[in-house]
Structure 1
Amino acid sequence: MSEMINNRELKAMDPAKRKETLKQLFKDLHDGKNVNEVKAHFDAFIGKITIEEIAGLQHVELIEGDISVTEMQRIYAAHTDLFKGAIEEDDSMYGPENQPGHPVHTFELENREIELLLQNRLRVHLEQFAMEDSAENINLLLEDCNLLYDIDKHYSRKENLIFPYLEKYGIYGPTTNMWRIDDFIRDGIKLAKKKLANYDGDKNGVIEEVQFVLREVSGMIYREENILFPMALQNFTEDEWVKIAHESDEIGYCLTSPAEEWKPARKHLDADAISEGYIKMETGILSLKQLELLLNHLPVDITFIDQDDVVRYFSHGKERIFARTKAVIGRTVQNCHPPRSVHVVEDLLRDFKAGKKDTEDFWIKVRDKFVYIRYFAVRDEDNQYIGTLEFTQNINPIQALEGEKRILS
């Protein structure tokens, strides 16, 4: 920082001034100041930091616009260095998360398996590959990377279950910045797999990519367990944790699974009962039960967001193409997408709201599926925009059709 602050004065500093001091320290990091120098100021002037203060920093205010992978790595590594050994522990945070089956217990169980994979396999096989890039060593490293990509489920549960609840409590920093790092890690694993599967003798390229993955995955484990999970434990209610536990199966688990079903010592969580009331529409009358079953039996996934870009509904068929959890309901659609694709969503919605477009189509490969994604601007009888309908379908079976079928099988 540009000026020194008397330590005794800082200890008595009011919360607003302390927050400004912390933000200045973070700004110094982002502006490229020496990490050791900023860390020394942090240790001398701040000493310890609480999870509430970290949440209140709203990192998203400090990291804006387009930013390179390298710069984001540098900033996040600097954040981690700043916090190490400085986070105050709160005994009240520890309790139910130590119970097998609690979502945090499961996340940390996965992290232990990830660490074992990194230490006992990936690091060992990388050293062997560095000594000799034989076909056997290439295949061993490729197998490790394939196993490690299971981390996508771990990150997806975090992004689709933990982040939405944090946002409900006004905590947005992890949503954007941690998700960015998750995507960098995913991309790093994919690139390492590609380089190994199509190995052309670029040994240094493979080594650099795998080392990047090792470093970033280890750093993310630290951030999750020392910042993200304590932050969530301080804010989420038991009902919210129960809902997260119940919805985790929708996405899946990484390298392991919950030790058991978590059953907190609490009153039974009432199921969301479906009213048997009826809805009268222009072309018919359906009960709420019939309407929900009808929508869930459509051979497509549909999602509706309102005029304020808030997710209000999604169908829940047997074979969803993209993971959806109930935590997205009430969340803005921008925060349901990875940061690097948000601009596409915003451009599309801007055109719909301005009346420049009524539809937009995309088609992409997703694993073994060819997915057709359609967006429709929903307008009322006065042509006023009231929301957007997303329609997603696996069209592989349709593309495979040939000839005609005129009778029952």
Structure 2
Amino acid sequence: MSELINNREYRQEKLKEVIRELHEGKTVEEVKAKFAQVIQGVTAKEISEMEVQLVKEGLPIEEIQNLCNVHAEVFKGSIEEIHHPEEVPGHPVYTMRQENKAIEDYIEGTMKPNLGRFEDDDSKENILALIADVNLLWDIDKHYSRKENLIFPYLEKYGITSPPKVMWGVDDEIRAMIKAVKLSLTSYKGNKEEVLKKAETALNEIKEMIFKEESILFSMCLDTLTEDEWINIYNESDEIGYAIIAPEEKWHRARLDVEEKVKEETEGTNVDKGYIKFETGILSTKEINHIFNTIPGDMTFVDKDNIVKYFSQGKERIFARTKAVIGRTVENCHPPASVNVVEKIVNSFKSGEKDSESFWIKMGDKFVMISYYAVRDENGEFLGTLEFSQDIAPIQAITGEKRLLSEE
């Protein structure tokens, strides 16, 4: 393991050297030749970590942005795709890939031939054809806007801040280039070579951005975001719109009908009658709901089949949950990086090896304890897992004794 870590650190340093030497004026070919033997199997995650480290060391975002195209060219062909869930039609990343393909097809199949006709003959007809092309190409703004306003906030939540800032900056440059091409065409004064150069530069930048999304961004997102977060992105995408094409179909997510599942499991009981008889009393379903929501902490229950059945909705939740998670497997409640840990805990509960496990982490002013408990019946049969998270900072701060009523 130490060898792997050391190798990763060594490669990280070499990656930073690539960017620094480019910054100092060396050509792409010089850098590629020097580091061809060193940089093998570079992942998108390592590139992200490198950029974050460079920013921490004082390199301005603008400098990384200026080197972004050269950066991509250096790593083109050497970036391994990070393993991610298989995409299905309707998934936000699937749709973005389809848009990228449509944009590339439009550039190659329509815009470039029209630019060729304009180069041969800058007639009004050919100019108008190019203006129509640019107007349609501006649809790319919707693609970029969904990326920037729906996906980037989640990456930033997980501490991935540098790549979104760099990419957003390049997106804005592309927008400016497209506007400049349109202005040159609508106010055309015979400056054919200038128009062609502006158009070629814009199209090249768009294709470079497609490469960065396909080989770096999408892999990073699929490796980081939870299913709930993708659901939120999917639900809000229509409001912004799509580039050139619309989604092929809706995103059909596998989801169990939990109500039917509960009915089958509780057939013959009084669970559906508005109250429940416990061994130690009786509570209405309304009382149960509000009792759980009053407990100062987050509770989530996952049944024996790893299906999320319930989560509490207290006033001050620590971790976000949406109702879309109900009926899905436990993996969709956690970022991909922590799924293996959760699975190990649940398996240890099922096997009887453990009955509980806890973790504690700092989250700003909060000191959060996350505890997992095996829920078993009177015969010891495993029924599911209860996750309970609580900010214990106020408890840790308690000193002495309190015997008097608090003054209002």
Q: Same fold (TM over 0.5)?
A: yes
Post-superposition shift, 1:233?
0.5
* Separation (CA, whole Å) in 1 of partners of 2:256 and 2:172: 39
Query: How far does the alpha carbon of each residue in 1:2-26 deviate from its partner, in whole angstroms, 9 at most, with x for none?
Result: xxxxxxxx98944333322211121
Aligned residue number for residue 201 of structure 2? 212
Residue 80 of structure 1 pairs with residue 72 of structure 2: yes
Match of 1:224 in 2: 213
Per the alignment, residue 163 of structure 1 pairs with 152
- Find the residue that maps to 1:58 and give its secondary structure: helix
CA apart distance, 1:236: 0.7
> 1:39 corresponds to which residue?
32
Letter in 2 for 1:31: E
Q: Aligned AA for 1:236?
A: L
Question: So what's the TM-score if we normalise by structure 2?
Answer: 0.59
Q: Which among 93, 115, 124 is matched to residue 84 of structure 2?
A: 93
Shift of 1:259: 1.2
Residues 195 and 230 of structure 1: CA distance in aligned 2, closer, same or farther (over 3 Å): same
Shift of 1:77: 2.0
Distance 2:228 2:61 in 1: 36
Q: Tell me, in whole angstroms, the C-alpha distance in 2 between the residues paired with 1:63 and 1:195.
A: 35
**Corresponding residue for 1:25?**
18
Report deviation, 1:181. Answer: 0.9
Amino acid at match of 2:39: I
Alignment identity in percent?
45
Gaps of 5+ in 1: 1-9, 270-276, 278-409
Q: Which residue number in structure 1 is paired with residue 253 of structure 2?
A: 264
Cα displacement string for residues 167-219 of structure 1 (whole angstroms, at most 9, x for unaligned residues): 11111122211111111111111111111111111111211110111100111
What letter corresponds to residue 185 of structure 1 in structure 2? I
Aligned pairs (5 A) from 1:108-147: 108-147=97-136
Q: CA–CA distance in 2 between the matches of 1:66 and 1:198?
A: 31
Does the 8 A contact of 1:163 with 1:174 survive in 2? no
More moved, 75-84 vs 118-127: 75-84
**What CA deviation, in whole Å up to 9, does each residue of 1:72-122 have, x standing for no partner?**
55x2221111111111234x3141x2x110000100111111011101111
* TM-aligned CA distance change 1:167 to 1:104, over 3 Å: same
Partner of 2:32, secondary structure, is helix
Deviations 1:142-187 (A, max 9, x none): 1100000010000000000111111111111222111111111111
Give the match for residue 50 of structure 1.
43
TM-score, structure 1 normalization: 0.59
3-state secondary structure, aligned to 1:263 = coil
Question: Deviations for 1:49-73, whole angstroms, at most 9, x for unmatched residues?
Answer: 0122112112571751656xxx955
3-state SS in 2 of match to 1:57: helix
Query: Does 1:181 pair with 2:180?
Result: no
1:132 CA drift (Å): 1.1
Amino acid at match of 2:60: E
Alignment of 1:360-371 (within 5 A): none
SS at match of 1:259: coil
Deviation, structure 1 residue 268: 7.5
In the aligned structure 2, how far is the partner of 1:77 from the partner of 1:234? Answer: 23
Q: What is the alpha-carbon distance in structure 1 between the residues aligned to residue 61 and residue 50 of structure 2?
A: 18
CA distance in 1, matches of 2:256, 2:19: 44
CA distance in 2, matches of 1:193, 1:30: 32
Report the count of equivalent residues: 256
What is the Cα deviation at residue 251 of structure 1?
0.5
| Cα distance change of structure 1 residues 72 and 169 upon mapping to structure 2, 3 Å threshold | closer
CA gap of 1:268–1:122, structure 2 versus 1, over 3 A, is: farther
2:92 alignment counterpart: 103
- The 8 Å contact of residues 154 and 254 in structure 1, kept in 2 or not, is answered as yes
Give the aligned partner of residue 302 of structure 2. Answer: none
CA distance in 2 between partners of 1:112 and 1:123 (Å): 15
Segments of structure 2 that go 5 or more residues without pairing to the other structure are 259-289, 291-408
